[in-house]
């Protein structure tokens, strides 16, 4: 069977299935921002941004942009009934006060202990942490959405992060272009694989040893 890697939109679609009705969700830069396009039908998810907005909808369509309505990544958002606006200081107070149910973040590396590195690539020598460190300790659940390997093909799920850390032991779930992995006290548990990907295929591109869930199956979008 042909092994297919999921597109960015499909990763976001799978992450959106993890969200529950009434969740307050912060979306990081990159793949996570796409999640607002895929709110499960019949559910209300309140999306939050460090820029000072709560309850926004999908990204604005071309020609409908409002320069005063953006997310943390600078992308234009569509107006949504009930959305509210406040200062960035209040947005961070919500994070630090433990009022964010889920944060969906991108990452350069995730370790088998759930450590996350997502703010600086050492080879570039510069980085931008944004609100990631606050979210790593303030959000009740952290979902990482990322490609499984970097551009050179090296695993991004590693035994120990070699890049500067954003947070330690903070990641709960990893959704990549080939797998869904849960972080547990016993290590990493592989629960789903992309179409055509067997557990051994995913393990071959993952540095730490994965425990395969007895319910392992094809990724559901």
CB of 140 closer than 8 Å to CB of 134: no
Q: How high is the pLDDT of residue 125?
A: 67
Q: Report how far apart, in Å, the C-alpha atoms of 10 and of each of 32, 60, 179, 211 are.
A: 11, 19, 12, 24
**116-117: strand order across its sheet:** 116-117, 109-111, 157-158
Residues 6+ apart with CB under 8 A from 21: 42, 43, 44, 45
The domains of the chain, with CATH numbers, are 8-218 (3.40.1080.10)
User: What are 77's strand-pairing partners?
Assistant: 59
- For position 75, what pLDDT does the model report? 86
Question: In this predicted structure, what is the pLDDT of residue 143?
Answer: 98
Each residue's pLDDT tens digit, 175-213: 999 999 999 999 999 999 999 999 999 999 999 999 999
Give residue 61's pLDDT.
Answer: 87
Provide the residue-wise pLDDT of the chain in tens; the chain has 221 residues: 678 899 999 999 999 999 999 999 999 989 999 998 898 778 999 999 998 999 988 888 888 888 888 887 788 988 888 999 999 999 999 999 999 999 999 999 999 999 999 998 777 766 777 889 999 999 999 999 999 999 999 999 999 999 999 999 999 999 999 999 999 999 999 999 999 999 999 999 999 999 999 999 999 88
Catalytic residues: 50
pTM: 0.95
């Amino acid at each position: 069977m042909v092994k297919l890697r999921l597109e960015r939109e499909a990763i976001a679609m799978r992450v959106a299935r993890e969200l529950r009705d009434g969740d307050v969700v912060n979306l990081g830069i990159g793949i996570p921002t796409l999640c607002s396009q895929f709110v499960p039908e019949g559910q209300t998810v309140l999306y939050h941004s460090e820029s000072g907005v709560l309850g926004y909808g999908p990204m604005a369509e071309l020609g409908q942009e409002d320069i005063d309505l953006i997310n943390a990544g600078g992308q234009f958002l569509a107006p949504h009934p009930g959305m509210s606006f406040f200062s960035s200081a209040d947005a961070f107070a919500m994070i630090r006060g433990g009022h964010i149910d889920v944060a969906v973040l991108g990452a350069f590396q995730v370790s088998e202990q759930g450590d996350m590195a997502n703010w600086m690539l050492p080879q570039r020598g510069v980085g931008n942490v944004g609100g990631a460190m606050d979210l790593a300790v303030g959000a009740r659940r952290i979902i990482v959405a990322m490609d499984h390997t970097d551009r050179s093909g090296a695993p991004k799920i590693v035994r120990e992060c070699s890049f500067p850390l954003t947070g330690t032991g903070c990641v709960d779930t990893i959704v990549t272009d080939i797998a869904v992995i849960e972080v547990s006290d016993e290590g990493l548990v592989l629960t789903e694989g992309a179409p055509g990907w067997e557990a051994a295929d995913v393990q071959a591109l993952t540095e730490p040893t994965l425990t395969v869930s007895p319910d392992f199956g094809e990724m559901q979008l």
